[in-house]
Structure 1
Amino acid sequence: MPTPIRRRDFLTGAAGLGAGLIAAPTVLHADEPVVIRAGALKLIHSIAPYFYEQFVPAGYKVEVLPFETPAECKNAVVTKSIDFGAFGIAAAILGAAAGEPVVVIASTCNRGMAIIAKKDSGINTIKDLRGKRVAVFPGTTQEVFFLERLKMEGMTIRDVEPVRVSFSEMHIALARGDIDAYVGAEPGPGVSLSSGVGQLVEYPYSTPMGSLNMVFGTHRDLITDKPDLVRVMLGIHQRATDFAAAHQDALVAMASSKLGQKKEAIEASIPNVELTWKLGPKEIEESKIYADHMLALKQIKRVPDFATFFDTSFVNAVKPT
């Protein structure tokens, strides 16, 4: 017959087990990796983060979190919900101009934008958009480029009927006939062109802002408190970006998998995407021009302090490969 367990013995054993559990984490977690949280957008020019896993050094783990809009990703950096994020330069400037502690430490992608109209709509130029329903997402890089292109053509936003549509919904809205055109981000334009739904109006890179688009940012506190972690992340970002840019088949496969788009659509988008991590005087100058445009458009009340808004020290420290 089994020996009965007395209450006193059970409690003593439980106490010992509890003490073990309290002490255990020091041992159990000693070899666990440092987790880095990185934000990415659901766009092909934000695809590099999905290659991070291949280039993470021992002792670290990167978790990639997808965001629908640039502002959401930037806000997650500001609130420290994530450690690093890839978002448009417009979102970064909006935050920095408002005094938020967001710091740009690298680039993510140039180009990646397009103005697309419905196929056979007769819309072939910017001027043809007059009076048309045009999808534009407020607070984005695409919006600033579009407003500048309108200005260059002697037009303003009042000459079109702007419709608020997220990037991922623009192609669908065009196909349904809800809009006549959109100012989108890849792979949306690639989807519209490869499917025959849309036609290219233009790639809006003729402004003084060039083809500046997405940047890589973090919180100022992270740079101050954990510069070694920032260096590790920049190394991962650099290697992943270079790999994705140099291996088109891998890029197409990854983008198709993560974005849920057909291979043909991704392949149509790639010529309009320049993945890059490099950040230097040219990008900073274009960003200053960009901020001046946003100020003139009254999207911001002041330009950011570029001495603290940009930190190129981590990019500058990367050794040539």
Structure 2
Amino acid sequence: MIDRRSVIVGLGAAAVAAPTIVRAQNPTVIRVGALKLIHSIAPYFYERFVPAGYKVEVLPFETPTECKTAVVTRSVDFGHFGIAAGQLGAAAGEPIVLIASTCNRGMAIIAKKDSPIHAIKDLKGKRVAVFPGTTQEVFFLERLRMEGMSIKDVEPVRVSFSEMHIALARGDVDAYVGAEPGPGVSLSTGVGQLVEYPYSTAMGSLNMVFGTHRDTITNKPDLVRTMLGIHQQGTDYASKNKDELVAMASSRLGQKKEAIEASVPNVELTWRFGATQIQQAKVYADHMLALKQIKRLPDFATFIDTSFVDALKPA
């Protein structure tokens, strides 16, 4: 005979245990901010390499500053943004920490097709689209300086990266300092011609980085290690599988395959961040300070942490 009290107790225990079972089945969600650029295409390959118990959500952002701010406000756990946005935040005392790289190269100065603009010096007096506070702006200003020019020698026009190709096609500007896939679109459609890839400065081709909140490193080091393992594998996979990279970028960015194919050679996806990148970042910060874009240099002892990248093993 079944004891009624035993049944009631058993049901009560099951009710208590059930929520625990449900919680155990819910994965840990990692929110990652990415830009609407080919530089940030690696996150869309993350799902292939997410270990059991985790789920990655990719949130797209229009500008580097927006993505960096999302990290600072903890709207996302990790973010991909330009080195300029990171330096601006760190110099202002924000708790942003760079823990890996995302992409080198990916920049280009493009002029209208068949225009007389073939070199930096030809930009004098021309309308040039530049987005303030970006890595591209700092590289452009340094290239102007190297040619004996300054921003006063051109007519800068504030245009977002996604609008630069359209602005050039309409004739709103004579040239732009852009980020891929914009230059690839302009070149593949015959709207633009290459002025130069601005990698001849002491900053090399340093561009986009991978960062997180300082508290995440302190309180969740295991999460950081897990995320960087995913980032490493996703980045390496995208780099080695160009056809899939082109297909993914075309799908996610809404660009034609021909435009993405023209962009890929100018993009170096990478997770590595070591002594060379740190030195380039310091040179970059010196330029920003000289340009009065920042009031002080970041504290590099806390701004950059390569310990997690250093611990990664070959995928």
Task: Please say whether Structure 1 and Structure 2 have the same fold, judged by a TM-score greater than 0.5.
Answer: yes
The answer for the alignment partner of 2:61 in structure 1 is 67
The answer for the alignment partner of 2:155 in structure 1 is 161
Shift of 1:24: 5.0
Cα distance in 2, alignment partners of residues 104 and 148 from structure 1: 23
2:45 to 40, 51, 57: 51
Matched, 1:214 2:208: yes
Matched, 1:237 2:231: yes
1:146 to 140, 144, 166: 140
Matches within 5 A, 1:69-108: 69-108=63-102
SS at match of 1:29: helix
Matched, 1:266 2:284: no
Cα distance in 2, alignment partners of residues 158 and 244 from structure 1: 40
Q: Deviations 1:216-237 (Å, cap 9, x if unpaired)?
A: 0000000000000000000000
Shift of 1:206: 0.4
Shift of 1:25: 3.6
Matched, 1:248 2:273: no
Cα distance in 2, alignment partners of residues 255 and 293 from structure 1: 32
Q: Deviations 1:33-91 (Å, cap 9, x if unpaired)?
A: 00000000000011101111111000000000000000000000000000000000000
Shift of 1:30: 1.9
Matched, 1:28 2:22: yes
1:183 to 177, 184, 190: 177
Cα distance in 2, alignment partners of residues 147 and 69 from structure 1: 19
SS at match of 2:25: coil
1:226 to 213, 220, 223: 220
| TM, length-normalised to structure 2 | 0.94
Gaps of at least 5 residues in structure 2 are 1-13
The answer for the alignment partner of 2:31 in structure 1 is 37
Shift of 1:22: 8.8
The answer for the alignment partner of 1:315 in structure 2 is 309
The answer for the alignment partner of 2:5 in structure 1 is none
Q: Percent same amino acid at aligned positions? A: 81
Matched, 1:279 2:243: no
Gaps of at least 5 residues in structure 1 are 1-19
| Aligned positions, number | 304
Cα distance in 1, alignment partners of residues 47 and 16 from structure 2: 32
Residue type of the alignment partner of 1:89: I
CA RMSD, 1 decimal: 1.4
Cα distance in 2, alignment partners of residues 193 and 267 from structure 1: 11
Residue type of the alignment partner of 2:227: M
Residue type of the alignment partner of 2:182: G
